[in-house]
Amino acid sequence: MFESFWRPTLTDLYWFSPELALVGTLVTLLIAPMIVGRSSRNATWIVVLGTLVTILLSWKVGGDVRSAGLSGLAPPEAAGMLILDNMSVYFKIVLMVFMLGVALLWSIGSAKKEKHAEEFLILLVGSALGMILMAGTLNLLMIIIAIELASLPSYAIVAFNKRNRRSAEASLKYVIFGGISSAIMLYGMSLLYGLYHTLDFARIAYGVVADLQAFAAVDVSSVAQSVDASMPAAQNTVAIGVALACFLAGIFFKIAAVPFHFWCPDVFEGAQIEVTTWLSVSSKSAAIVLLLRLVDTFSSATGAFPGGASLSALTGLAWGLGIVAAVTCTWGNFAAYRQNNVKRLFAYSSIAHAGYMMMAASVFVHPDSPLDYSPIAAVLVYILIYVFMNLGAFGVAAMVVWRSGNENIDAFHGLGRRAPWLAIPMLCCLVSLVGLPPFAGFIGKIWILLSLGASGGGLYWGLVIVAVLNTLVSLFFYLRIVKAMFFVDDGQESFTPPISGLAMVNVCAVVLVLMGTLFIEAPRRKAEFYASNLFRPAILKGGMSHAENAAIDATQGELLRLTEGVARIEGERNRRSDRQAQTP
């Protein structure tokens, strides 16, 4: 009976080793206290080691395997269960680097008085594992598991400071919002499954493109005139629309896109600042990478469609994503202006930045098009830059908050005098977040704008204009912190922050300057490499098995029936007009 089980080969395990290393870190964290006793110090070292091993393994495995997938229990054709390609490798490395930064920040801050260090780090690493899985899958089942794996530890870690009412409230809001979004997402998924009888998103995308294409092929005016024949396609379109909207809602929740953003400010305010730092980048970027992968799957599906389908079938989807992106970044920037709590302010700032990234995600490019203005590469660079901007800004904010116990902007008053080596990197990070040269934030924005401009058309030029106007709006609230640091001084005493924290934020600032001036090209080149050669299942490449061909036959049969239906309507109409012509 064991033959029927899936037994991974050594190669499979090797491909999967970065994730296994993270699992190993989790297990070690659980066991270590029993052997060597509880200690934040040891636990931090375990995490640092585990993270470094994960980075090394990802890099090594990524170097050996360019684009592949594991199917696990599903048939091998549905290989999108666990994907190992350049983009997933990139995301693993960037996320792990960011986790190192967060662990460092935690170790100089809350770790000192934390009695439950192991539990905290387990939740942190656990959510990281979920995010990594999220960035490397094309299977509906896996998507929901990954999202839950990322979310559940996040709910707990937000409430980690359990004596704090705000933390508890934030966590509860997070759980409720998260639960409802998951439910909506599952509903969307069940509709998709019902429509296409598969959990493999590549097949679903293929089917969606086929249906949308068929719908576009039907002459709409004739549908309006006479009712019956073309209705299946029209009904399908509505079902597809509902299904995709519900499905995307779950992802939008993780991105904190408007209107699924309400949890974000409360959670960011209630959580410890290290947790806020972690959530600000990780959950958003993981969901953005997942979104990019879905969008790329749609684009590839048009390329693989027999006889060729055009991207225009996906226009509605592009507009939907684009409008959500534009509203998200505008809303985030306007709402941030009214905030006095620094963590809330950064929450809205992160919503706005997610909006910028989503703009690039709304670009559907043909899979064979060159990578020059690839939106995927643009977002990958942006995520990298965003990691440094946020690590720097949150690092400074954390040190200021720990010092003063005050999370409002007035804690920053006179920081330019009190701790100049915190204030200057903070300035660099803030200006970079606005997106002004000579800092890297500008470059990140430029790549996104170039990918939008390359697509041209009303939607994308509109998004370009929305994005640059948002830069202006965001200046208002970032400058409030700058003003507090340098223009207002209410005589709070100077202080010397911990040296490792100083080193971290200053390194971030220097990286931002260098990536904004001398080293603009290198990160872009790297990102282009990592955005290339994405994993695309066989169905998206034309080389298909018998079952897949059968599926396509069925789809084409559907199309044929539609065409016949149209022909029948046309004939009917012709006959009618003939009759009218005959009876003068």
Partner 1 sequence: MEGSLLTLLVFLPLMGAAGCVVMPKEMARVIALLTTLVTFLVSLWLIPPFLAGGDAAQAVNIFGSSYGETLHFVQRIPWITGDSFSIKYFVGIDGLSMPFVVLTTLVSLFACAASWNCHTWKVTKNLKAFFVLFLMLETGMIGTFVSLDFFLFYIFWEVMLLPMYFLIGVWGGPRKEYAAIKFFLFTLAGSVLMLVAMIAMFFYSADAVAGGVPSGYQDGVTITQGTFDMIELATNSAIQENFAAATFMGVLPFASTMFIFMFIGFAVKLPLVPVHTWLPDAHVEAPTPISMILAGVLLKMGGYGFLRLCYPIFPTGGHFWASTLAALGVISILYGALCAMAQTDFKKLVAYSSISHMGYVMLGIAVMTHTGVQGAMYQMIAHGISSPMCFFLVGVIYDRAHHREINRFGGLWLTMPKYGTMATIGFFASLGLPGLCGFIGEIYVLLGTFEARHTFEWAVPAAILAAFGVIFTAGYVLWLIQRVYLGPEKEEYAGYPEASGREMAILVPFAALCVAYGVLPKHLLFDYVNGTLNHIVDTMQSSGAITALAAGS
Site residues (vs partner 1, CB under 8 A): 370-372, 416-417, 431, 436-438, 442, 446, 449-450, 453-454, 456-458, 461-462, 464-465, 468-469, 471-472, 475-476, 479, 483, 486-487, 520-521, 524, 528
Would you say 185 or 452 has its CB closer to partner 1? Answer: 452
**Least Å distance between CB 211 and partner 1?**
28
In angstroms, give the least distance from the CB of 515 to partner 1: 12
CB 360 within 8 A of CB 452: yes
Residue 251: closest CA among 313, 325, 169? 325
Least separation, in Å, of the C-beta of 168 and partner 1?
Answer: 39
For partner 1, give the closer residue by CB, 100 or 464: 464
Quick one: 91 exposed, middle or buried, by C-beta within 10 A (0-12, 13-18, 19+)?
Answer: buried
Q: Which one, 111 or 467, has the nearer CB to partner 1?
A: 467
Residue 311 carries which DSSP code?
G
- Answer whether 294's CB lies under 8 Å from 204's CB: no
CB of 406 to partner 1, least distance (A): 22
Q: Which is nearer to partner 1, 457 or 571 (CB)?
A: 457
Shortest spacing between CB 337 and partner 1, in angstroms = 13
- Region of 364 (left: φ > 0; alpha: ψ -120 to 50; beta: rest) is beta
**Tokens standing for residue 458:** 């009303």
- Phi then psi for residue 409, to 5 deg, are -60, -25
| Residue whose CB is less far from partner 1, 195 or 520 | 520
Dihedral through CA 101, CA 351, CA 251, CA 167, nearest 10? 70
* Cα dihedral across residues 575, 578, 583, 584: positive or negative: positive
Give whichever of 106 and 412 is closer to partner 1, judged by the CB atom: 412
Least separation, in Å, of the C-beta of 457 and partner 1? 8
Whole-angstrom distance, CA of residue 108 vs CA of residue 584? 93
- How near is the Cβ of 453 to partner 1 at its closest, in Å? 4
Whose CA is closest to 95, among 264, 277, 249? 277
| CB of 95 or CB of 426, closer to partner 1 | 426
Least distance from C-beta 473 to partner 1, angstroms? 10
Torsion angle (degrees, nearest 10) of CA 192, 195, 200, 203: -120
Nearer to partner 1, 208 or 485 (CB): 485
Euclidean distance between the first and the last CA atom of the chain, given in angstroms as a whole number: 79
Residues 6+ apart with CB under 8 A from 255: 283, 284, 287, 288, 291, 328, 354, 358
Nearer to partner 1, 90 or 447 (CB): 447
Judged by beta carbon, residue 260 or residue 460, the one nearer partner 1 is 460
Name the amino acid, one letter, at 459: L
Looking at the Cβ atoms of 47 and 481, the one nearer to partner 1 is 481
Q: Of 141 and 454, which CB lies nearer to partner 1 in the complex structure? A: 454
300, two tokens: 């590839």
Min separation Cβ 232 and partner 1, Å? 34
Q: Are 17 and 61 in contact (CB under 8 A)?
A: yes
Helix orientation angle between 499-516 and 440-455, rounded to the nearest 10 degrees: 40
Work out how close the CB of 464 gets to partner 1 at its nearest, in angstroms, rounded to a whole number: 6
Instruction: Give CA–CA dist 72/54, Å, rounded.
Output: 22
- Nearest distance in Å: CB 25, partner 1: 38
DSSP state of 227: -
Per DSSP, the residues of 91-130 read HHHHHHHHHHHHHHHHHHTGGGG-S-HHHHHHHHHHHHHH
- Rounded Cα gap, residues 198 and 547, in angstroms: 12
Q: How many Å is the Cα radius of gyration of the chain?
A: 26
Instruction: State phi, psi for 255 to the nearest 5 degrees.
Output: -75, -20
